């Protein structure tokens, strides 16, 4: 407001104070209001903070979901973990089954009166044993170790062989062949040879490829009867050209037939791939040949021979002949003494072990011969051993003791070396 003398008058101190306070208030509002306005925004950052937290939460939750899979797997794992123990006992049960096989084998002898030829039905694990003095064939359960049946056959049964699910028995004093149905263990009938193919039926061999049975006919005629195992009829009557036919063997691989002639002291070879069979050659043996075996793996022919002139009754020599296209090689590739086996000397080539078993009858032992080392590797004591048979499926060798009236079982191939 202007003064009386016309000059402007400054405001009083109160006005200045008011202005200063107003100024301070304005400054306060101007500079302090932003910090106050963010105050409501302050919750916003937590909102953003919770958003990632919420995002992380589902992520962890999904991660946890797969963890439920292992959890359930873990749950089933414990469940499946006890199961193996449940399954684990099963193999021992299976393992226990085979252990029953060897248990009775060395303990139960097979009692048969004067056992001769034997043959194993490997499909059914039955052993057929000819009993010479009882005119019968004894049937033995190889697994159960029990007698199954006794089948009456012809007079003085000797050789036994099985082919085409039939058992053929050579009746040495009856000039006939008895046929047994292997499935039922019953006799089907007899094949009469008298007047058709004369001689005393002794040892028997078979050709499973052709369903043929070959029977050595001991006597002055020197014949071999060939039986058709399908029709049970005489198919051929071979003339060896030498009397005293005794041992007989078939090499099914090369389709060769071999027979020993005790009187002519030779081995005769035939080609049986053709009908009628063709005679190939005869090989001198230097003594009276008894038993013979053909090895299809090597083509070699093993013969046990009696050289005790003039009787020629002690089988004391072993000779091996090589296979040739014309029959057999003249000179043996192996010639060794085997001791005095008297009228024994039956021979078998093991299918599993490849050793050769020889019945050393007079020496009361079974000889186990190593063809590689060309020597006897084991001697098994037993009374009067004669016939030998094998079941390769059960890995067993059977040896018939004539005087002991028993068949002895050897399991697991040749006995161990002492």
d(C-alpha 238, C-alpha 226), whole Å: 8
d(C-alpha 287, C-alpha 222), whole Å: 17
Look at the alpha carbons of 161, 164, 165, 169 in this order and tell me if their dihedral is positive or negative. Answer: negative
d(C-alpha 203, C-alpha 30), whole Å: 134
Quote the pLDDT of residue 341: 80
Question: How would you classify residue 154: left for phi > 0, otherwise alpha for psi between -120 and 50, otherwise beta?
Answer: beta
Quote the pLDDT of residue 73: 35
User: Which residue in 387, 379, 384, 385 sits closest to 415, CA to CA?
Assistant: 379
Quote the pLDDT of residue 33: 53
Quote the pLDDT of residue 381: 93
Look at the alpha carbons of 379, 384, 390, 391 in this order and tell me if their dihedral is positive or negative. Answer: negative
Quote the pLDDT of residue 53: 35
Give 3-state DSSP helix, strand, coil % of the chain, rounded to 5: 20, 45, 40
* 3-class secondary-structure state, position 406: strand
d(C-alpha 37, C-alpha 47), whole Å: 17
Task: Give me 299's structure tokens.
Answer: 């083509």
Domains of the chain, by residue range, sit at: 44-83, 110-411
Task: Give me 310's structure tokens.
Answer: 């003039």
* 3-class secondary-structure state, position 215: strand
Are the C-beta atoms of residues 398 and 411 closer than 8 Å to each other? no
Residue with tokens 């009856």: 174
pLDDT tens per residue, the chain (418 residues)?
444 444 445 456 667 677 767 777 665 666 555 444 444 444 444 333 333 333 333 333 333 333 333 333 333 333 333 343 333 334 334 333 333 333 334 458 999 999 999 999 999 999 999 999 999 999 999 999 999 999 999 999 999 999 999 999 999 998 999 999 999 999 999 999 999 999 999 999 999 999 999 999 998 889 999 999 999 999 999 999 989 999 999 999 999 999 999 999 999 999 999 999 999 999 999 999 999 999 988 999 999 999 988 889 888 899 999 989 888 999 999 999 887 788 777 999 999 888 999 999 889 999 999 998 889 999 999 999 999 999 999 999 999 999 999 999 998 766 554 4
DSSP of 265-304: TEEEEEE-SSSS-EEEEEEE-SSEEEEEEE-TTT--EEEE
Quote the pLDDT of residue 314: 87
The CATH number given to 110-411 is 2.130.10.10
Are the C-beta atoms of residues 179 and 189 closer than 8 Å to each other? yes
């Amino acid at each position: 407001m202007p003064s009386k003398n016309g000059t402007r008058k400054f405001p009083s101190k109160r006005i200045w104070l008011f202005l200063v306070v107003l100024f301070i208030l304005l400054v306060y509002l101007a500079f302090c209001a932003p910090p106050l306005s963010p105050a409501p925004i302050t919750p916003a950052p937590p909102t953003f903070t919770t958003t990632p937290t919420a995002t992380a939460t589902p992520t962890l939750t999904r991660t946890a979901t797969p963890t439920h899979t292992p959890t359930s797997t873990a749950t089933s794992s414990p469940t499946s973990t006890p199961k193996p123990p449940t399954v684990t006992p099963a193999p021992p049960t299976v393992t226990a089954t085979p252990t029953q096989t060897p248990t009775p084998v060395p303990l139960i002898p097979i009692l048969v009166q004067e056992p001769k030829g034997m043959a194993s039905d490997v499909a059914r694990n039955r052993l057929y044993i000819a009993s010479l003095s009882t005119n019968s064939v004894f049937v033995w359960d190889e697994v159960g170790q029990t007698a199954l049946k006794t089948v009456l056959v012809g007079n003085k049964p000797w050789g036994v062989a099985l082919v085409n699910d039939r058992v053929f028995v050579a009746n040495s004093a009856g000039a006939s062949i008895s046929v047994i149905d292997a499935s039922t263990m019953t006799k089907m009938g007899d094949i009469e040879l008298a007047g058709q193919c004369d001689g005393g039926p002794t040892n028997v061999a078979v050709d499973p490829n052709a369903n043929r049975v070959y029977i050595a006919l001991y006597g002055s005629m020197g014949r071999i009867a060939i039986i058709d195992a399908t029709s049970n009829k005489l198919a051929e009557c071979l003339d060896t050209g030498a009397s005293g036919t005794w041992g007989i063997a078939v090499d099914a691989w090369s389709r060769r037939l071999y027979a020993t002639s005790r009187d002519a002291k030779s081995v005769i070879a035939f080609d049986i791939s053709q009908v009628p069979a063709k005679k190939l050659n005869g090989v001198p043996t230097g003594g009276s040949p008894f038993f013979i075996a053909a090895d299809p793996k090597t083509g070699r022919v093993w013969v046990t021979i009696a050289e005790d002139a003039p009787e020629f009754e002690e089988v004391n020599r072993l000779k091996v002949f090589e296979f040739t296209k014309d029959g057999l090689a003249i000179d043996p590739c192996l010639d060794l003494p085997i001791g005095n086996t008297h009228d024994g000397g039956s021979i078998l080539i093991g299918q599993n072990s490849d050793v050769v078993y020889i019945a050393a009858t007079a020496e009361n032992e079974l000889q186990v011969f190593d063809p590689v080392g060309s020597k006897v590797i084991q001697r098994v004591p037993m009374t009067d051993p004669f016939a030998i048979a094998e079941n390769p499926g059960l890995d067993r060798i059977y040896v018939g003791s004539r005087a002991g009236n028993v068949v002895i079982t050897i399991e697991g191939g040749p006995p161990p070396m002492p």
